[in-house]
Chain A
Amino acid sequence: MTTSTLGEIFKMPPVQLPDASRRLFLKISGGAGAGLILGLAAPMPGAGSRAAAAAAGTSLAPNPFVIVAPDNTVTVILKHLDKGQGAATGLATLVAEELDADHAQIRTEFAPSDPVKFKNFAFGVQGVGGSTGLSNSYEQYRTAGATARAMLVAAAARAWALPAGEITVKAGKISHASGKSATFGELAVKAAAENVPEKPALKDPKDFVYIGKQFPRVDSPVKVNGTAKFTLDHQFDGMLIAVIVRPPLFGAKVSAFDAAEAMKIKGVVTVLQVPQGVAVLADNTWAALKAKRLLKVTWDDSAAEKRGSEEIVAIYKALLDKPGIKAREQGNIEDAFKSAAKVIEADFEFPYLAHAPMEPMNCVVRFDGASADIWTGSQLQTVDHGAACAVLGLKPEAINLHTVWAGGSFGRRAVPDAHYVREACDIAKAYGKPVPIKLMWTREDDITGGWYRPIYVHRIRAGLDKDGNIIAWLHRIAGQSIMAGTAFEAMTVKNGIDETSVEGASSLPYAIANLRVDLHTEKVGVPVLWWRSVGATHTAHATEHMIDMLAKDAGKDPVAFRLELLKDKPRHAGVLKLAAEKAGWGMPLPPGKFRGVAVHESFGSYVANVADVSLRDGGTVKVERIVCAIDCGLAVNPDVVAAQMEGGIGYGLGAALKSAITLKGGVVEQTNFDGYDVMRMSEMPRIEVHIVPSAAPPTGVGEPGTPVALPAVANALFSGTGVRTLQLPMSRQAYKAKV
């Protein structure tokens, strides 16, 4: 990365705060009162041991994000959950850079819930998602580090009676040419008495020592020795374990239950009806699980969803014959299709997908009637906190929400209705005794419990002129809205279009004069949710696979065909060229290997994949290698970027190759990792990641790696077998190499 490109970054404008935040919060918190947002901003006593020490004036804590302690540690307060995507390391990198701290002295601590101090500038409340973790914090956390550094320097200057301008800071050491030196810890208390600079100077990017270079993960050591504490790992004396027997059909309600057999299990304390089903409380996990199986519940399924996946797909497919609500239109497609020399059409089917993070949903609540503590891997703290207030009937300041490490999310922990926090609070309230209660979802609860990536069907119809140029493109999507009925609806559903249903399709980057994208949205009683990369999980495949079908009919090379249509899209073209070059695009392949390419932008980051694929005996798809190029603006931590691409590709490939949730008569057919098949070691391809040097502001990397491998692999299979990948996962189709 050149100095001049870093120089451009330095001039990036501050992120704008959206105006809808307050309204949003009030909606989310379920009308718990207008004083809530201010109440939530009240200091949270007892949150964070180091934060508490800083509050006592024994450390340098000039802002909510950094604490320099006399023990020479620098604690970075993380406003965002780290569920694996590297937010802790990323935010720590920003502080360490401007503070000139040493990696070894950095500690991290999750921030308490506070929608003002710890808001995500992209949302206006506290929470993370949409791959915004680092992009919205870039200036804020750098400034936090620079502030602490300026105060340490001022304290050194005062102590040594030397000009501040002559004092240097490097790798956690403050020094002067005269030989005087001090650690951060030695000056922390003195520095706390210095004035807090209003606008501390940020580094000239050419002087960066960590940003854009290397800063190892801060969480690696605790994650390889078992000491990282996840929600499920919280153990308290007298704690009860709660599990819930949930309805077999979405929307069914408890009509009666018989707990006699369940209550006979030693360790079972009580069985309670809650809005979500029937909860078993026991003094150990095994007793709870055993009793759960013995509980007899009869369900009222009069209002339940009873349709299966096949029926839902059939309804959506019928809709594809009629125009939907317009998401984008340009030119005149009717006339263009009339003049087309060739028209091709393809329908695509995408199944429900479970996120299936390794740590199933869970939440610990201690509620004594007047106050509560909640421990959970909270991704949307403001939402979870507000929901807890609403259920427990407490003011925000009476609840401490402790964010802890989360065992994956992929969207699953960012729930607009905070349902599993509500469940835990409902149980605590119903039980009514002030003991900690740990609600645990089993894997079966997770796989059968909904909140899936919705089923979508797509139809793309495209026309080529006699020279093989695309002159018409009609893209129709039918599916279920993720946002409708949630607190986010007002912000994200405009004129009947849920942006998450069409993103990636309505933003098709290719220069096509006559184009229409439209949408049918159906109500289905299956709860759905964003799944890593959201709309791109389906739109990237439909669009990018179609482009290869068109390139073939036009007799053009897939990379060259795309580049011709991307003349005004330099960042798409940039990653496409880089991936093609690094993969050896155009070079002959050994027999039995096929190659495909795809490019897609999501969350402001541009990703291209070249996939090398073969078929194992019986036609099973084996992805051999993925070459990935990404343009995410300035890569703050290149190794974290690479890790997110590797993991994103693996996550996407699992869904591409074999994952699907299917319903029959409304019942989910998969229950665990046997039926819901996920990516495993032997299926993982070799992956190479290449990062485009960039001057643009940093954009997200948690999601954009996920959607591109699917169409790249499908395009490789198309080239090698002639088979179109129209039904997902690929295990539903038969591929056979062309002879």
Chain B
Amino acid sequence: MAQTITVNGEKRSIDADPETPLLWVLRDDLRLTGTKFGCGAALCGACTVHLDGEAVRSCQIQARDADGREVTTIEGVSGDIAKAVQAAWIKLDVAQCGYCQPGQVMSAIGLLSQIPKPTDDDIDKAMDGNVCRCATYHRIRAAIHEAAKAI
């Protein structure tokens, strides 16, 4: 059974097992590998994408549930908030190994879209599901505040 998913503004027709997590549809079928696999169980946030504008863990969304919906991945983010977040990440040299950072960036964009001037508590709540084993949390927090200033 084919699914039609709008990915980064483009309608894509996919013929995947309907149970396939969106994560693997993006990575294997569409070769959009910016979205990462970290745990497969919504415990680490490396696979965070936006589904109809909301930050979700793509490892938990089945292809059939993404049918007819809009997905934005790290490759397709755009707009002032995304630009401010990515610029702040670069300015503060947040990334170390960088593997979790697409997910962090997607979660941060999601947060700033909801709360333009987040407090430290807001950041804790929005970002606690995104694990960074390099523990760049200190700079992620600073970069979110930095991006909030720029928006």
Contact = CB atoms under 8 A, between A and B. Distances in A.
B65 to A, nearest CB: 14
A220 interface: yes
B29 to A, nearest CB: 8
Contacts of A648: 135
A674 B138 contact: no
Interface in B119-133: 123-125, 127-133
Given A233-B33, A672-B43, A86 B133 contact: no
A220 B40 contact: no
A220 B94 contact: yes
A443 B38 CA distance: 7
B43 A224 contact: no
Contacts of B74: 225-226
Interface in B86-103: 86, 89-90, 93-102
A235 B28 contact: yes
Contacts of A286: 16-17, 19-21, 24, 28
A226 B73 contact: yes
Contacts of A222: 98
Interface in A600-648: 639-640, 643, 646-648
A232 interface: yes
Interface string B34-49: 1111111101101000
A226 B123 CA distance: 22
Given A233-B33, A285-B24, A358-B131, A217 B95 contact: yes
A83 B31 contact: no
A358 B135 contact: no
B115 to A, nearest CB: 15
A358 B97 contact: yes
A273 interface: no
B8 to A, nearest CB: 11
Interface residues of B, number: 58
B44 to A, nearest CB: 5
B43 A674 contact: yes
B137 A681 contact: yes
A98 B97 CA distance: 26
A224 B90 contact: yes
Nearest to B77: A225
Given A284-B28, A286-B21, A673-B39, A684 B98 contact: no
Nearest to A377: B97
B136 A223 contact: no
Given A216-B93, A223-B98, A678-B131, A443 B39 contact: yes
Contacts of A266: 17
Nearest to A687: B138
A681 B37 contact: no
Nearest to A229: B33
A654 interface: yes
A443 B133 contact: no
Given A284-B28, A286-B17, A443 B41 contact: yes
A232 B138 contact: no
Given A680-B131, A682-B128, A358 B100 contact: yes
B28 A358 contact: no
A643 B98 CA distance: 13
Contacts of B19: 286, 290
A84 B98 contact: yes
Contacts of A221: 90
Contact of A358 (B31, B33, B35, B99): B99
Interface stretch (A33-41, A103-111, A404-412): A404-412
Contact of A408 (B32, B97, B123, B139): B97
- From B36, B86, B93, B102, residue with most partner A Cβ within 10 Å: B93
B140 interface: yes
B105 interface: yes
B136 to A, nearest CB: 6
Given A286-B17, A286-B20, A646 B93 contact: no
Contacts of B38: 358-360, 443
Contacts of A226: 32-35, 73-75, 102
Nearest to B37: A232
Nearest to A675: B43
B69 interface: no
B133 A678 contact: yes
Contacts of B34: 225-227
B27 interface: yes
A408 B75 CA distance: 22
Interface in A401-427: 405-410
Contact of A646 (B28, B102, B130, B139): B139
B99 to A, nearest CB: 3
A410 B37 CA distance: 19
Nearest to B135: A650
Interface residues of A, number: 67
Contact of A681 (B41, B99, B140): B140
Contact of A235 (B33, B73, B134, B141): B33
Given A266-B17, A682-B128, A289 B40 contact: yes
B142 to A, nearest CB: 10
Contacts of A561: none
A682 B129 CA distance: 10
Given A672-B43, A673-B43, A651 B133 contact: yes
Given A285-B27, A673-B44, A679 B97 contact: no
A287 interface: yes
A674 B133 contact: no
A357 B97 contact: yes
Contacts of B21: 286
Contacts of A440: 37
A630 to B, nearest CB: 15
Contacts of B132: 358
A27 B141 CA distance: 46
A359 B127 contact: no
A359 B97 contact: yes
Contacts of B90: 216, 220-221, 224
Contacts of B32: 226
A649 interface: yes
Nearest to A223: B98
Contacts of A647: 96, 134-136
A678 B39 CA distance: 13
B123 A681 contact: yes
B98 A639 contact: no
Interface string B74-88: 110000000000100
A160 to B, nearest CB: 38
Given A286-B20, A407-B36, A674-B43, A223 B95 contact: yes
Contacts of B93: 216-217, 220, 639-640, 643
A210 interface: no
A220 B95 contact: yes
A443 B40 CA distance: 7
Contacts of B46: 358
Interface in A229-286: 229-230, 232-233, 235, 241, 266-267, 284-286
Interface string A653-691: 110000000000000000011100011111010110000
Given A358-B99, A442-B40, A443-B40, A408 B133 contact: yes
A230 B38 CA distance: 13
A625 to B, nearest CB: 11
Contacts of A678: 131, 133
A223 B36 CA distance: 12
Given A225-B74, A290-B17, A681-B141, 20 more contacts: A86-B96, A219-B95, A219-B98, A220-B89, A220-B90, A220-B95, A224-B90, A224-B98, A224-B101, A232-B36, A286-B20, A286-B21, A355-B133, A407-B99, A443-B41, A648-B135, A673-B39, A673-B44, A680-B137, A682-B128
The 10 closest A-B pairs by CB, nearest first: A226-B34, A650-B135, A407-B99, A84-B97, A223-B98, A84-B96, A226-B74, A233-B33, A682-B124, A684-B137
9 contacts: A224-B90, A224-B101, A225-B86, A233-B27, A290-B19, A358-B36, A358-B100, A408-B133, A410-B133
